[in-house]
Amino acid sequence: MQTGMDFLIEVIREPAIFLGLIALTGLLLLRKDFSSVVSGTAKTVIGVVILTQGTNILMNSIAPLTEGFNVMYNIDNPEVAPALGADTILSQYGTQIGLAMLIAFLINLVVARFTPIKHVFLTGHMLFWFPFIFVAVGIENDLSNTQLVLFASILTALYIIIAPALLRPFVRKVTQSDDFIIGHPTTILSLIAGMVGKLFGTKGRSSEDIKFPSSTEFLREISITSSIVMFFVYIVVSIIIGFDTASTAFGAEQNLVIYSVMQGILFGAGLTVLLLGVRMMLAEIIPAFQGISQKWIPNAVPALDAPILFPYAPNAVLIGFVVSMITSVATIFITGSMGVFSFVIVPLTITCFFEIGTAAIIANGQGGLRGAIAGSAVAGVVMILLVGLSVPILSGTAADWIVIFGGNDFSLWSFLGDLIARLFPGG
């Protein structure tokens, strides 16, 4: 029984296999011929793998910047607080996390089948990390093993049902369709950016309408533009902290200019690979999901990972990343000088790119280029405040994890979860 459950958990945690099975089920329900079933399933799996590898390349290209910013802030020890850490929580509470994930997903299916909330959360790794966070919150509140499973199941189910539904009209505004929505911890940042973008933006000019002179027409290629932007980010950080210091911080084993060029090219290559994977996966998973929608859950749509939205406004993604890095850096400086937090907050380059990059697309859909800039700027500030809100709640468990991957729905919902956990007997 335990072995079977562990296997099922591993399947759901592996995005390529999980979405491949979803595509396979949908194609079978549509009664497609054998060749179409094999082709559609295989292309879905391959598309997800390409997307995942593109994501990994992007993360590798921006990861050295975190250490560069640590040096810029004179942060010698970025540890936030003593904590169990993700590895310990996973090893000691993996069963509770897995059970909560499966129960929450089943609840999502039932809700989608019998209520007007018609979406199925299919971002497999997020289906795992949210119960991880809620189990950590439960541990902080001394919940028993049974209470942990119940608590994490309820909170995960609430999140995967509520969050994508809140973001659905904003996604529809971007895509001009209702084929899919977003199931990703960008929700709070995207909602804020969208509202700010609508308030301060203008709909006349999109981030994708940026005009380039004929001599610089090559900048319309997002792979080239993103490479150049990332190159300059590395160079600017290097100038601020000094080239020798930057070489050490980045772990560069070659001339720093050459290193910066290669990191920029790596970023552009990663984004190109990611977008290829997105297009390939969408071309298969959307039609295949219609089988599930027609046979089992009428009118349902899939809630998918945030990079699915990137092809709709790739310029906005870059704007979101660069602008939020600037405003979040300023916020860290200001809160640090004022002693607002009793712990160190380091730059969240991953959240700036994926969560706020997505938020910038949403803001662009609401208020164009100006909206994308304004929304990203505010989201960068909110991100740091959310980290500050959540670190104390997870100080004995996952504080070291949340300070790297938080500043988003993980942080917000850990705060909300802490309030709810206090209502449990013994909590």
Q: How far apart are CA 278 and CA 55, in angstroms?
A: 11
Taking the alpha carbons at both ends of the chain, their separation in whole angstroms is: 30
Specify whether the CB–CB gap between 279 and 273 falls below 8 A: no
Specify the pLDDT at position 212.
Answer: 66
Specify the pLDDT at position 369.
Answer: 94
Q: Which residues, in sequence order, are CB contacts of 35 under 8 Å at separation 6+?
A: none
> Structural domain boundaries of the chain?
2-421
* Position 301, amino acid: V
Residue 234's nearest CA partner among 225, 224, 246, 226 is 246
Specify the pLDDT at position 104.
Answer: 94
* Overall pTM surpassing 0.75 (yes/no): yes
| E-only strand ranges, 112-172 | 119-121
User: Which ranges constitute the DSSP H helices of 30-76?
Assistant: 34-72
Q: How far apart are CA 373 and CA 196, in angstroms?
A: 10
CB-based burial label for 107 (10 Å; 0-12, 13-18, 19+): middle
Region of 331 please: left (phi>0), alpha (psi -120 to 50) or beta.
Answer: alpha
Residue 372's nearest CA partner among 165, 162, 170, 168 is 170
Question: How many CB atoms neighbour CB 209 within 10 A?
Answer: 10
Q: How many angstroms separate the Cα of 186 from the Cα of each of 42, 97, 360?
A: 29, 22, 11
Dihedral angle of Cα 209, 302, 418, 149, to the nearest 10 degrees: -160
Specify whether the CB–CB gap between 101 and 5 falls below 8 A: no
Residue 136's nearest CA partner among 100, 173, 174, 176 is 100
Return contacts of 244-248, CB within 8 angstroms, 24+ apart.
Answer: 245/71, 246/68, 246/71
Per-residue pLDDT of the chain (427 residues; tens, 9 = 90+): 456 667 877 787 788 888 899 999 999 999 999 999 999 999 999 998 998 898 889 888 888 887 787 777 665 555 555 567 777 887 788 889 988 988 999 999 999 999 999 999 998 888 889 999 999 999 999 999 999 999 999 999 999 999 999 999 999 999 999 999 999 999 999 999 999 999 998 877 898 888 767 776 676 677 888 888 889 889 988 998 899 999 998 998 889 999 999 999 998 999 899 889 888 988 888 888 888 888 889 999 999 999 999 999 999 998 999 899 899 989 988 987 787 887 778 778 889 989 999 999 999 999 999 999 999 999 999 999 999 999 999 988 988 789 878 999 999 999 999 999 998 776 5
Q: How far apart are CA 11 and CA 239, in angstroms?
A: 46
Q: Which residues, in sequence order, are CB contacts of 292 under 8 Å at separation 6+?
A: 22, 25, 26, 29, 120, 300
Question: Which residues are registered as beta bridge partners of 302?
Answer: 120
Give the DSSP H/E element, type plus range, for residue 315. helix 314-338
Specify whether the CB–CB gap between 277 and 50 falls below 8 A: yes
| E-only strand ranges, 194-239 | none
